[in-house]
Amino acid sequence: MNKKTEKHIKPAENNSIVSENKWNKNIQFISKIFIFLVAIVLSLKAIKEPDLWWQLATGDWILQNKSIPTTDVFSFTYFGTKWINIKWGFEVLISLWAKAFGVEFIYVIQALVTVGLVYFMLKLINLKNADYVNKPWALNIILLCVFVFLAVASNRIIGRPEMFSHLFTLVFIYLINLYKNQKKLIYLLPLLQLVWTNMHEAFGTGIVVIGIFVFAAWVEHFLDKSNEKPLNLSIAFFLCIAVIVINPYGFEMLSRPFEIFSQLNTNKYTTELSNYTTHEYWQTSTYFTLVFLIISSLNIISTLLEKSKEKKLKHLINQFGLANIILIIAFTILASSAFRNLIFLNIVLLPFVVNGVLKFFVFISKKTKFIFPTFYISLLTFSVGLVFYISIVSNKFYEINKFSHTYGLQFSAMQNPIGAANYLKENKLDSKTLFSDYLSSSYLLYSLSPNFKTFIDLRDLDVFPDTFFQKNAEAYANYESYKIFDEKFNFKAAVVLNNQFKRLQIGLYNDSNYTLSYFDPLVSVFVKQKNNSKTPLSIANLNYYKPSIFSSIINYVFNPFYKPIEIENEEQNTDAALFYLSIGNYKQAKQLVSNSASNSAINYIKGQYYFNMAIADTSNRTYYNDSAILFLNKAVKENENYFEAYFSLGSIELNQGNFLSAVKHFEKCCEIDNNSLNAHLYAGECYKGLVEVSKALKFLPQFVYHLEVSNEMNPNNPNIEWNLGVAYFKQGKCNLSTPILKKVKDFEGLSFEDKNMAEYCITNCSGK
């Protein structure tokens, strides 16, 4: 501002500008506080991660035995098998933490790590955007981008040891970016690598990060001798590799990262390991990551197009650094390999995203001469932070995103099989040979230690071979496969999660050698004893367990109106009815809710009762079908996202051959849960009926789409592949049809007509 202009500013106007600037700085300061508050409350969650329980049990075992296990000590199936447990450091930490403050207090560690993640992210963003951070609105843009990052990363802020890999990845990148100005700081990396190696299996990421920077620095030196030799960085790199052997397993850890990466292609038993070719990979957070990648790519492309005296490639390297460009490529490949790795790519991309957005704002400002209203942008940032914070502590954020998490340090028998553990202990079954599914076994291992030994658990391929996992998966789907295990191990009881393994539950319930002895809304226990009467059992009462005094204080500090979520008795009665529905006792299910007040769940239960009566009693099928449709429509009217009710409505219409009506319900199911295999299979079946019966070829693309999704979710299924091959043939896509049909044409499960159809398609495609 020149002196002439200053003379024309009235004192009142000058005071107004000063006052506005002061308010703007105050609001920005509060917004900055909110970014850390959001990081904290986003971390304070009720325990639902089953992995934490076996990790706690391992930490307890290490402290009790004063040694680190090198062989399996927890299962009866693979006891004594070699076990490389990289996470032992984290396990000891959470064990000590839980003993001091309560089990649920473990998530405070996650809160501290998330705060560290935000702190170093802000430091790195400021470091990489030195040319823009002096703009009065720059801080607001930075904070808004970090808010988005936290929202996208929330599905991985879950209290697991991977939190340290997230933090250390960022710290490595930050410290290396400080290398030119503060060379001695680079020697912190080997110390961090030593800790990382004993905390989480992604420790190899640190070697990759520093390796990329070392490689890029030497390339830049050879291309331009004015760049100094990166000797200190190279020494730190070799020291990071050297310290990896300082662990309970010695030199074996040097090759461990390669073995872990190879497991991604083998371990198909959790959706978090799904890669970019699978349907499960493409979730909301994936698309946000894709947006981050696009913004970063456009930023790089725009830099290439900038006018400069330097050659374009040299200008790009000078602006971003060769290492950072390679880093984006490397972490994009990593993120494509597994859904859980997306957060690593977001950590790498965020500084580039911020840089691109800031550069765009500056460009607009120069071109249009527009002065951005900093005060109002600050108000927007503050509002976003406030709304984000309130939505988390009120659980609205989790409800909107359909996450099963809840705010508050707590744990309950609604999410952990506490009731089953107590039942086993009270009935002295905890030391017996028990079948327990791989999800419920972790809590049982923690709660019933040292008596309890697992059949299988979430240590996955670190202990149990892939073939054993496959046979275990077969046991969930086919009761005859379970009986093979039973004959070998002679189980005294079986513990099964209700909402995960319904086929196994039905088999156990109808097996005269087993009795349903305990069940609650989460889990059921079948004890091996003959009981042909199958007398209905009352559901066990459950509640959230009271958190420790330390946890309670924190819960109320961040939300004075906090209330632990409890399940009402009436809800438990509904849960009991839903359980009996799942095991095929429809009469008992209807009796349990016959006097209950109408709601979506009650109407669904009644609708299911009539639906199954229509199948059992063909003489009154019309009456039962009409009654089922009546109650199921009431259910979806009260709850427009009631997946099961829509699925039943679709099934009724499909059974009656009403393909067009049926497919609308199954498409709604896919909309509600796009990862449901059955929804896609049944939607495909409807489109198949429309194509074959109604001769409506316009529905062929939808039929193919649902088959392709189903094939991704359930690969190597001959029936799905046969349908897909024939559908491709009808579309004239012989290059896709022939390989599939050649693969399945000799499958014994195909009918004679299906085999002939496969041969017909192959023959008619041979000339194309």
Instruction: Give 434-445 as a DSSP string.
Output: EEE-TTTHHHHH
Task: Please state the rounded mean pLDDT for residues 184-200.
Answer: 95
Name the DSSP class of 407: B
Whether residue 536 has pLDDT greater than 90: no
Whether residue 516 has pLDDT greater than 70: yes
230 with 282: CB under 8 angstroms?
no
Tokens standing for residue 279: 């349907």
pLDDT tens figures, 240-262: 999 999 999 999 888 888 777 66
Tokens standing for residue 19: 């006052």
* Range with lowest mean pLDDT among 183-192, 303-312, 346-355, 479-488: 303-312
Task: Please state the rounded mean pLDDT for residues 701-718.
Answer: 89
Give whichever of 2-11, 221-230, 250-259, 517-526 has the largest mean pLDDT: 517-526
Whether residue 17 has pLDDT greater than 60: no
279 with 713: CB under 8 angstroms?
yes
* H/E run at residue 528: strand 523-528
Whether residue 751 has pLDDT greater than 60: yes
Q: How far apart are CA 125 and CA 119, in angstroms?
A: 10
Name the DSSP class of 187: G
More confident residue, 383 or 225: 383
3-state secondary structure of 412: strand
Residue 453: how many CA atoms within 13 Å on its side-chain side? 15
173 with 117: CB under 8 angstroms?
no
95 with 60: CB under 8 angstroms?
yes
Residue that is written with structure tokens 């020149």 in the block: 2
pLDDT of 6 reads 45
Q: How far apart are CA 68 and CA 54, in angstroms?
A: 14
Task: Please state the rounded mean pLDDT for residues 443-456.
Answer: 95
Task: Please state the rounded mean pLDDT for residues 458-474.
Answer: 89
- 715 falls in which pLDDT band (50, 70, 90)? confident
**Cβ neighbours for 560, distance < 8 A, ≥ 6 positions apart:** none
**Cβ neighbours for 325, distance < 8 A, ≥ 6 positions apart:** 300, 316, 317
Residue 122: how many CA atoms within 13 Å on its side-chain side? 20
Instruction: Say if strands 434-436 and 411-412 run parallel, antiparallel, or are unpaired.
Output: unpaired
Q: What angle do CA 739, 744, 749 make, to 5 degrees?
A: 165
Q: How far apart are CA 562 and CA 547, in angstroms?
A: 13
Task: Please state the rounded mean pLDDT for residues 146-160.
Answer: 95
Measured CA distances, 400 to 136, 314, 667 (Å):
33, 46, 21
Quick one: which of 554, 399, 552 has its CA closest to 40? 554
CB atoms within 10 A of CB 127: 14
pLDDT tens figures, 311-363: 777 878 888 889 999 999 999 999 999 999 999 999 999 999 999 999 998 88
| Residue ranges in 45-137 assigned as alpha helix (H) | 51-65, 88-101, 106-128
Quick one: which of 373, 347, 348, 370 has its CA closest to 360? 370
280 with 713: CB under 8 angstroms?
yes
Strand partners, 515: 527
3-state secondary structure of 39: helix
Name the DSSP class of 541: P
3-state secondary structure of 533: coil
497 with 440: CB under 8 angstroms?
yes
* H/E run at residue 527: strand 523-528
More confident residue, 600 or 8: 600
- 10 falls in which pLDDT band (50, 70, 90)? low
Percent of the chain whose pLDDT exceeds 70: 94
Whether residue 77 has pLDDT greater than 90: yes
Cis peptide before 450 (omega within 30 of 0): yes
pLDDT tens figures, 612-630: 888 888 888 899 999 999 9
pLDDT of 270 reads 66
Q: How far apart are CA 703 and CA 719, in angstroms?
A: 14
143 with 35: CB under 8 angstroms?
yes
Q: How far apart are CA 418 and CA 289, in angstroms?
A: 37
* Range with lowest mean pLDDT among 55-69, 151-165, 376-390, 743-757: 743-757
Q: How far apart are CA 317 and CA 320, in angstroms?
A: 5
pLDDT of 223 reads 83
Q: How far apart are CA 297 and CA 425, in angstroms?
A: 57
Whether residue 297 has pLDDT greater than 50: yes
Torsion angle defined by CA atoms of residues 265, 270, 274 and 278, in that order, rounded to the nearest 10 degrees:
110
Q: How far apart are CA 768 and CA 756, in angstroms?
A: 19
* H/E run at residue 545: strand 544-545
Task: Please state the rounded mean pLDDT for residues 496-502.
Answer: 87
Give whichever of 317-321, 525-529, 586-590, 692-696 has the largest mean pLDDT: 525-529
- 494 backbone dihedrals φ, ψ, rounded to 5°: -130, 135
* H/E run at residue 411: strand 411-412
- 593 falls in which pLDDT band (50, 70, 90)? confident
**Which amino acid is residue 685, in one-letter code?**
E
Kindly report the three-state secondary structure assignment for every residue of 751-763.
CHHHHHHHHHHHH
pLDDT of 265 reads 57
Q: How far apart are CA 712 and CA 115, in angstroms?
A: 38
- 146 falls in which pLDDT band (50, 70, 90)? very high
- 226 falls in which pLDDT band (50, 70, 90)? confident
Handedness of CA 708, 710, 714, 718 (dihedral sign): negative
221 with 271: CB under 8 angstroms?
no
Name the DSSP class of 83: -
pLDDT of 11 reads 53
CB atoms within 10 A of CB 431: 14
Handedness of CA 570, 572, 578, 579 (dihedral sign): negative
pLDDT of 266 reads 55
Q: Where are the domains of the chain?
A: 26-400, 411-546, 586-765
Q: How far apart are CA 601 and CA 639, in angstroms?
A: 9
pLDDT of 324 reads 92
CB atoms within 10 A of CB 17: 10
Whether residue 414 has pLDDT greater than 70: yes
Q: How far apart are CA 765 and CA 768, in angstroms?
A: 5
Instruction: Say if strands 493-497 and 434-436 run parallel, antiparallel, or are unpaired.
Output: parallel
Task: Please state the rounded mean pLDDT for residues 652-660.
Answer: 93
pLDDT of 9 reads 47
Whether residue 5 has pLDDT greater than 50: no
Whether residue 636 has pLDDT greater than 50: yes
- 373 backbone dihedrals φ, ψ, rounded to 5°: -75, 85
> How many Å is the maximal CA-CA distance in the chain?
100
State the chain's mean pLDDT as an integer: 89
Strand partners, 412: 544
More confident residue, 503 or 260: 503
Tokens standing for residue 446: 């923690």
Task: Please state the rounded mean pLDDT for residues 427-440.
Answer: 95
Tokens standing for residue 281: 């990979």
Kindly report the three-state secondary structure assignment for every residue of 463-525.
CCCHHHHHHHHHHHHCHHHHHHHHHHHCCCEEEEECCCCHHHHHHHHHCCCEEEEEECCCEEE
Q: How far apart are CA 640 and CA 42, in angstroms?
A: 28
3-state secondary structure of 583: coil
Instruction: Please state which of the four CATH numbers 3.90.1150.10, 1.25.40.10, 3.40.718.10, 3.30.365.10 is assigned to the domain occupying 586-765.
Output: 1.25.40.10
CB atoms within 10 A of CB 290: 14
Whether residue 214 has pLDDT greater than 60: yes
